[in-house]
Amino acid sequence: PAGNCFIAVVHLKTIKENLVINEIEAYIEEKRAEINPRYRLHYHVAPPVGWMNDPNGFSFYKGQFHLFYQFYPYESQWGPMHWGHSVSPNLVDWKTLPTALVPEEEMCFSGSAVVKDDEMVLMYTGRTTTDEEPFYNETQYLAFSNDGIEFHKYEGNPVLPYTPNGSPDFRDPKVWKHGEHWYVVIGSKTDDERGRVLLYRSPDLISWEFLSVIGESSGDMGYMWECPDFFQLKGKHILLMSPQGLVPQGDRYKNVHQTGYIIGKFSYETFEFVPEISFQEIDFGHDFYAATTTEKDGKRYLVAWFNMWDVPHPEDVDGWAGAMTIIRELELVGNRIVMKPVETITTLREETVWDGNLMENEFVQLDKTGELLITGDLSQNIELLIKGSNGGGQVVLQWDPQVRKVVVDREGDIRQVEWLPLGSEQWRIFLDASSLELFCGEGEVVFSTRVYPDGGWQVTNLSPQPLDTIAYTLRRSVPE
Ligand code: FRU
């Protein structure tokens, strides 16, 4: 009888959760019709309505990739966090599923997903408010699903309620399995406001033991490390994370917050991570944060929030805000990570609108989407103007052979970085209705930048040299 009683309680809870979710879905359906489509992305995941930030729970379960995200349906501003949900068979065609997690006493902050005994388990940060300074607390929660669509929260939440130093900043768990154990890295800070990442271990995802601090700012690496991820590439360990509070240094750290990585060696005996290189940014564009990865068939895929905190998001007046980058595949080459667009992205190519030299002042006209492959002579200047065909937002891409830098100039707001091609000297540029992603060469330098054109795109060669150019339109692969 005790067992039956437990089942009845779980059942009631699920019914209540489903009712709330049905209400949200009905609201989304109604609001969808009011969205102004001008900046809506055609092949990037974006919220159906309302606000999106970090990617969460990027994983593979029951034949599909799952990509959850920080979601607030009711306004195109940040609010009490839900988890939105998209799935894809191939990392380019995405479908929206019902909202996965809804806030109750806790806001559902960022986290990750694993598969345990055929069940999908989400681990996320529950952020609660308190009466006393600092007026919030963060602990780790679990939610389960048998179908990857409906989730129920664990009755015994939170499973991981405190940090070694009592810091209330304790968020964004990234879980993985190694041998018999589950491990998790979680972002936090020291008492004197230095960002750090904590490592824990569990036999069952429910009881957790603190192991070590695997990374910590010595003072100049920011006050909080958000969204950590920890994985292997070619036998090395990579700590990926999003530190807040780095001070700009020349061309580096120009965004409000950064995302990057440290490469090193890690031991499952001592739980010590020994860095071999200092922190490197992983993307040099204006809008890239809170990146996270997943592994499938030996390949490591990354996705990031294609926006930045505390900057304007011009689409918000249209009823939505926020997007995900295209999925990238990571590789370790020497002591750096290179990042290529996922291979399946070529299945989006529709029509070849240009194939041949693009002469000075000649331009390619595209509708809302495009992929351009451009090769020039790197001993000379390259300059490309990418602008709305009816005006609006624009970006100038430049290569300066004197300083060997690639420059992305978005209306005077410049991001630039040195580029030493490892092989290919091609630029691969992805344009969507309000975004640009530039992959240089083998992916050694990448820029992700939101830009808001009026109408479609016009790509003009402003350099004296002809540029060998192929341009495709890309089909829609996400819901309207
Ligand atoms: C990063 C972040 C996370 C947090 C989430 C809240 O962008 O601040 O640390 O879990 O967003 O929405």
Q: What is the pLDDT of residues 343-391, one digit of tens each?
A: 999 999 999 999 999 999 999 999 999 999 999 999 999 999 999 999 9
pLDDT, tens digit (0-9, with 9 covering 90-100), for 447-468: 999 999 999 999 999 999 999 9
290 lies in some domain: yes
Q: Which of these three, 343, 370, 403, is where a domain ends?
A: 343
Give the DSSP letter string of 286-301.
Answer: SS-EEEEEEEETTEEE
Q: What is the pLDDT of residue 33?
A: 95
Q: What is the pLDDT of residue 17?
A: 76
Q: What is the pLDDT of residue 335?
A: 93
- Residue 7 in this model has a pLDDT that exceeds 70: no
Pair 399, 293 in one domain: no
Compute φ and ψ for 402, nearest 5 degrees. Answer: -65, -50
Domain boundaries, position 398 = 349-474
Pair 363, 338 in one domain: no
Taking the chain, what is the end-to-end CA distance rounded to the nearest angstrom? 49
Q: Nearest to residue 282, comparing CAs of 319, 320, 227?
A: 227
pLDDT band for position 9 (50/70/90)?
low
Q: What is the pLDDT of residue 8?
A: 54
Stretch 166-194: mean pLDDT = 98
For the chain, the average pLDDT equals: 96
Stretch 44-54: mean pLDDT = 98
Q: What is the pLDDT of residue 117?
A: 97
pLDDT band for position 19 (50/70/90)?
confident
As a whole-number percent, the residues of the chain with pLDDT over 70 amount to 97
CA of 296 to the centre of ligand 1 (A): 25
Pair 355, 339 in one domain: no
Pair 190, 248 in one domain: yes
- What count of Cα atoms within 13 Å lies in the side-chain half-sphere of residue 222? 24
Stretch 162-184: mean pLDDT = 97
Helix, strand, coil percentages for the chain (3-state, nearest 5): 10, 50, 40
CA of 246 to the centre of ligand 1 (A): 17
CA 372 to chain centre: 23
Residue nearest atom 9 of ligand 1, based on CA coordinates: 226
pLDDT, tens digit (0-9, with 9 covering 90-100), for 74-113: 999 999 999 999 999 999 999 999 999 999 999 999 999 9
Which ligand 1 atom sits closest to the C-alpha of 110? 10
Greatest Cα-to-Cα distance within the chain, rounded to the nearest angstrom: 83
Pair 309, 368 in one domain: no
Q: What is the pLDDT of residue 76?
A: 97
Q: Is 54 a catalytic residue?
A: yes
Q: What is the pLDDT of residue 4?
A: 55
CA of 284 to the centre of ligand 1 (A): 20
Pair 364, 306 in one domain: no
Q: Which of these three, 297, 320, 343, is where a domain ends?
A: 343
Q: What is the pLDDT of residue 220?
A: 95
- The identity of residue 138, as a single letter, is E
Best residue among 172, 288, 306 to mutate for probing ligand 1, ranked by most atoms within 8 Å of CB? 172
Which ligand 1 atom sits closest to the C-alpha of 125? 10
CA of 242 to the centre of ligand 1 (A): 10
Stretch 312-322: mean pLDDT = 98
ipTM associated with this complex? 0.99
Q: Which of 54, 229, 283, 287 is catalytic?
A: 54
271 lies in some domain: yes
Which residues does ligand 1 sit against, CB inside 6 Å? Answer: 53-54, 70, 81, 109-110, 125, 171-172, 226-227, 289-290
Q: What is the pLDDT of residue 2?
A: 47
The domain tally of the chain equals 2
Best residue among 51, 56, 70, 169 to mutate for probing ligand 1, ranked by most atoms within 8 Å of CB? 70
CA dist 253 and 356 (Å) reads 37
- Residue 340 in this model has a pLDDT that exceeds 50: yes
Q: Which of these three, 298, 313, 343, is where a domain ends?
A: 343
**CATH number of the domain within which 226 lies:** 2.115.10.20
CA of 320 to the centre of ligand 1 (A): 18
479 lies in some domain: no
Best residue among 51, 53, 197 to mutate for probing ligand 1, ranked by most atoms within 8 Å of CB? 53
Pair 187, 131 in one domain: yes
